[in-house]
């Protein structure tokens, strides 16, 4: 799944604020990354700033689900604009260019808790012929859903975000502000 699609989705639920962070030096060297910090020393990311970051996202079991590293394009967004999941947006606030932070974001501050109301039963005639459990489908409005169960002429569709109900850990490096 492309990084922009995964991270730019707006969370459907904004529960508690179980966000734990640790900060370390830059990812690949012992010296701070020098970009905008050289021209704007002491600047930290805040509301309304356009920032660029590299990130690696993992689940609690260590599985990597997304990354902008390894030749990927940095992610650029406006802090506080609602473009990011709440916990990621909050984690970037206060970072200076070159900072590297690891943050664990609770499900409520990521893609929300799983919601049984988003399990929807439809007729088999409403899904493409040959659809199987686990298939991802797009609705007429572009939302991605997953075939959760097929029982005769009934199909159970799961409209929860694939990462709903999961805590996410991100390693974030702030590359630029502005």
Q: In whole numbers, what is the pLDDT of the chain averaged over residues? A: 82
- Say if residue 80's pLDDT is above 80: yes
C-alpha 151/C-alpha 159 separation (Å) is: 18
Question: ∠ at Cα 31 (28, 34), nearest 5°?
Answer: 95
C-alpha 170/C-alpha 64 separation (Å) is: 10
- Determine the average pLDDT of the residues in 131-146: 93
* 137 exposure class (CB count in 10 Å sphere: 0-12, 13-18, 19+): middle
- Encode 39-78: b = buried (16+ Cβ within 10 Å), e = exposed: eeeebebeeebebbbbbbbbeeeeeeebbbeeeeebbebe
Kindly indicate whether the domain formed by 116-158 is annotated with CATH number 3.40.190.
no
pLDDT of residue 168: 98
The pair of structure tokens assigned to 27 is 């990812």
- Say if residue 87's pLDDT is above 90: yes
Within 2-76, where are the H helices?
A: 3-8, 36-39
- Determine the average pLDDT of the residues in 94-117: 97
Domain with CATH 2.40.10 in the chain: 116-158
pLDDT of residue 40: 59
Q: Looking at the whole model, is its pTM more than 0.75?
A: no
pLDDT of residue 95: 98
- 171: left (phi > 0), else alpha (psi -120 to 50), else beta? beta
Kindly indicate whether the domain formed by 3-112+162-177 is annotated with CATH number 3.40.50.970.
no
Domain with CATH 3.10.50.40 in the chain: 3-112+162-177
Contact predicate 155/125, CB 8 Å: no
The pair of structure tokens assigned to 166 is 């999961």
- Note the residue count of the chain: 178
């Amino acid at each position: 799944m492309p990084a922009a699609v995964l991270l730019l989705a707006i969370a459907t639920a904004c529960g508690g604020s179980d966000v734990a962070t640790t900060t370390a030096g830059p990812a690949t060297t012992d010296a701070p990354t020098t970009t905008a910090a050289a021209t704007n020393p002491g600047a930290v990311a805040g509301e309304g700033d356009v920032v660029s970051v590299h990130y690696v996202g993992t689940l609690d079991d260590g599985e990597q689900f997304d990354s902008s590293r390894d030749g990927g394009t940095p992610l650029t967004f406006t802090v506080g604009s609602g473009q990011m999941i709440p916990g990621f947006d909050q984690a970037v606030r206060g970072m200076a260019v070159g900072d590297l932070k690891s943050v664990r974001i609770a499900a409520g501050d990521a893609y929300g808790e799983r919601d049984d109301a988003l399990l929807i039963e439809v007729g088999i005639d409403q899904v493409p012929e040959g659809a199987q459990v686990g298939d991802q489908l797009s609705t007429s409005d572009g939302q991605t859903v997953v075939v959760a169960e097929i029982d005769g002429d009934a199909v159970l569709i799961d409209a929860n975000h694939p990462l709903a109900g999961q805590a996410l850990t991100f390693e974030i490096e702030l590359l630029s502000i502005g």
